[in-house]
Structures are given as structure tokens and as C-alpha cells.
Structure 1
Amino acid sequence: MDFLESIIRIPLEQLPFFLITLVIAFTVHEFSHAYFANKFGDPTARLLGRMTLNPAVHFDLFGIILLLIAGFGWARPVPVNRDNFRRPRLMGVIVSAAGPISNLLLGILGAFIYAVLLGTGVMESITNEQLIRAIVWFFGIFIQFNFFLFLFNLIPLPPLDGYRILEDVAPHSIRGRMQQYEQWLSFVFLLIIFIPGLREYTITPMNNWATQTGNDFLQLFLKMFGI
């Protein structure tokens, strides 16, 4: 147990709730990319079986393990062929943004459901302390992680969605330069992720924003119940 705790960043008692959150957040994120790509005329993801809410087809085992150990991981990217879009740049932006926006909506939904449980007295009626703790942990992790994923994926560096959005909105000449230096931009991204001094000015503020935003939405919804 001590060995596991030394390599996994998540407290072991909270690990099941974090894994459930990962399954939901990553699956919905990748499904959203596939759904809108297919809707706009690119069937690539659908033909490869990626337009589904089955987590098994979206998960990358190494990416999940690395996320638990190093705090950074990934799901299997959904393949998108923008040449199939009637308006490649506009529809490309929408397809890229669909993933992060899905996490934003999941975070808001999580805050709403948690507020309902609190505002309607359901939580007060539960006498099992372990169940109460589990509910608090799950919604805390679920809300914060989805808000974090929303913001994190909008970073304009490869391989994130924010970079693909920037590619699609940038003028052709700038887009060419971006592609020319994409390898170096990917290196910058890795530095931000793995160097503690840089994480302090990038990842940590995002975590703080996710926590605060989750609390703000929760308080907003609680006002509906006069709390």
C-alpha cells in the first residue's frame, strides 16, 4: 500500500472516484469530437468505431497510467479528416472545441446534481458516513477535473485542441509557420507539463481556476434552493 501511495498522485481512498471521473470525462470528450466530425461530413471516426460512449475504444492504457503517476495523460485521439468538411476551417474549429466544451458542460452538470442533492435534503437524510464521504469525494473530483480539462485542452500548444483551433483560425501564412515549428511547440508543451517551476505558473493556476469555478457554479445552483 505504501509503495502504491508513493507512485500514484491520487490518494488511494479517492482513486476509484478519480477513475470513474476519467472514464466519463475522457469518453464524452472523444465522443464529442467524433460526433461533430461525422455530423459535418467526415465519417472517419464513425467508421473506425469511435463514435460511441463505450470507454474501451477511447482509452489508452499507458496514457491513464502516466496520468496517475505523473499528473499528465491522454485518451486515444479521434482521427479527423478536415478535407471532408464543407467548410474545413469553421467546422474544424467546432469539432476541436467540442471536446473541451463537453467537459465544461459535464462540470456544470456535476455542480447542478450536487446542488440538488444538497438543496433537497438528500445528503442530510443519508446516515452512512462512508456513503456521504464517497458522494462528496466523487462530486468534488468530478466537477474540478472536468473544469480543469476544459481549460487545459484550450492551451494553444500541440497536441491539444487549443492548438488545432488556433491552426484553423490563423491566416494561411501563419498556419504554415506553425506546422513548421510544431515539433518545437510540442517540446514547449512537455516542459510546461513536467518541469515543476513551470507547472507552478501554468497547471497550478488552472487547478485553482477549476476549483473556484466549480464552487461558483455550486453556489449559484444552491441559491435556487435558498441556500
Structure 2
Amino acid sequence: MFGFDENMIFRIPALLIALTIHEYAHARVAVWMGDNTPKIMGRLTLNPIAHLDPFGLIMLWLFKFGWAKPVPINPSNFKNWRQGTILVSLAGPISNVITAFLAAIIYGILAKLELLSSGIGTVLTFTYSYNIIFAIFNLIPLPPLDGSKVLTNLLPARQGYMLEKIEPYAPFILLGLVYLNIINVIIAPFYSALSFMINQIVRIIL
């Protein structure tokens, strides 16, 4: 999936696109919902440097597990803090799905016009793939992933608090899941289903 190989020059822009879009979407929706914290902290930007965690990016390339800098938010600034937190959390994965769809559309249009070079095609393919993976991975309900924030705010207070208590151990749990290849087992069926739906829509449009 990730790692150093001859395609790394194509993987890097695809990874940066997926990471940047994901974090920018969190920031944008938080501001829309009334919290200017991301803007104040310089995260309301499409500049990837603002969102990168260098160590997290290296881990992503080397070990198929990494992260960007989380977008800081203050839920107390939302009119409805629970609803606001859920929407901000979902914004990242949803933006990744939309980006994957756009990558597929652009690929299809360029192919039809016979303007698709090998390099552009490879970048678009990785962009498509990484964005789907990011969307699914971030919806896993383990802290601090987006799925856990959604689930925490949907659960009764006691159960939500218990889920939050897992957060200090979550990186080790995730590393274990990656090492045992369980992450791929979890992601694979959702990847296939989501990819199938996107491709069907693209075929209808084009």
C-alpha cells in the first residue's frame, strides 16, 4: 500500500492531497459551525505543510500507519456541541470520498480525450486509492480516529466516556491491528464496495 518504491514520486502528491483535503475539511466545517479555532491556528488552508506531522508522514510511508496533525476545535463554540462535533468528524472522511470520486472522473475524462499520460494516470490512481483508504480507516471507531468521535457523541454519556478512556492505548491497538494485517481485512470489503459504487456512478456520468 505505502512504502519506498519506484512509484514513490507518484505516491507523495497523492498522499499530500488525501491528507490535506481531509484536514482542511475538518477545519472548514468547524468554522462553518461557528468555531474559529482552526482559522486562528492556521489550519483553514490547503497548504499541506500546515497539516503535516513529519513523523506521522514517515510512519505512513514506511509502515502503512500514520497521521496528520489533528485540527484543533472547541466544541463549546458550536450552537449544538454534539451535532457540531459529529459533523466536523464526518467532514474528513466525506471529503476523501468526494476527492476519490473527482479523481475517477478526471481520469475517465482524460482517458476519453486521449490526454492521459502515464504519470498523471498513476498520480490519479493513487489519489483515488488513498482517499478511499483514508475515508474508511478514519471511520474505524477507535480514538483518536474520526469514527470514535462520531460514536462517542452518539452513545449514552457513560459508554461514550468509556470509549474515550481507550485513547491513551489506541495507537498501540492500531499498530497491533496493522502488524497483524487486521486493518487490511477490515478495510478491504468496504474499499471494494465503495470503489464499486464510485465506478458505477462515473460510468453513468461518462
Normalising to structure 1: TM-score of the pair?
A: 0.82
Gaps of 5+ in 1: 1-7, 124-131
Structure 1 contact 27–58 (Cα < 8 Å) conserved: yes
Structure 1 contact 9–70 (Cα < 8 Å) conserved: yes
Equivalent-residue separation in structure 2 for 1:83 and 1:186 (angstroms): 27
Pick closer, same or farther for the CA change 1:47–1:204 going to 2, 3 Å.
same
> Which amino acid letter does the alignment assign opposite residue 93 of structure 1?
I
Structure 1 contact 21–141 (Cα < 8 Å) conserved: yes
Pick closer, same or farther for the CA change 1:186–1:105 going to 2, 3 Å.
same
1:65 is aligned to 2:58: yes
Following TM superposition, by how much is the alpha carbon of 1:192 offset from its aligned partner in structure 2, in angstroms?
A: 0.8
The residue correspondences of 1:69-84 to structure 2 (distance < 5 A) are: 69-84=62-77
Gaps of 5+ in 2: none
Q: Identity rate of aligned residues, in percent? A: 33
Which residue of the partner structure matches residue 102 of structure 1?
95
Instruction: Tell me the SS of whatever aligns to 1:59.
Output: coil
Q: Deviations over 1:143-190 (max 9, x none)?
A: 111011110100000111001111111111211222333334443223
Which residue of the partner structure matches residue 5 of structure 1?
none
Which of 121, 124, 128 is the equivalent residue of 1:139?
A: 124
Which residue of the partner structure matches residue 9 of structure 1?
3
1:24 is aligned to 2:17: yes
> Which amino acid letter does the alignment assign opposite residue 150 of structure 2?
I
Which residue of the partner structure matches residue 198 of structure 2?
217
1:178 is aligned to 2:171: no
Which residue of the partner structure matches residue 162 of structure 1?
147
Q: Greater CA radius of gyration, 1 or 2?
A: 1
Q: Deviations over 1:45-81 (max 9, x none)?
A: 1111111111111111111111111111111110111
1:121 is aligned to 2:126: no
Following TM superposition, by how much is the alpha carbon of 1:118 offset from its aligned partner in structure 2, in angstroms?
A: 1.7
Instruction: Tell me the SS of whatever aligns to 2:69.
Output: coil
Which of 34, 48, 58 is the equivalent residue of 1:55?
A: 48
Structure 1 contact 33–98 (Cα < 8 Å) conserved: yes
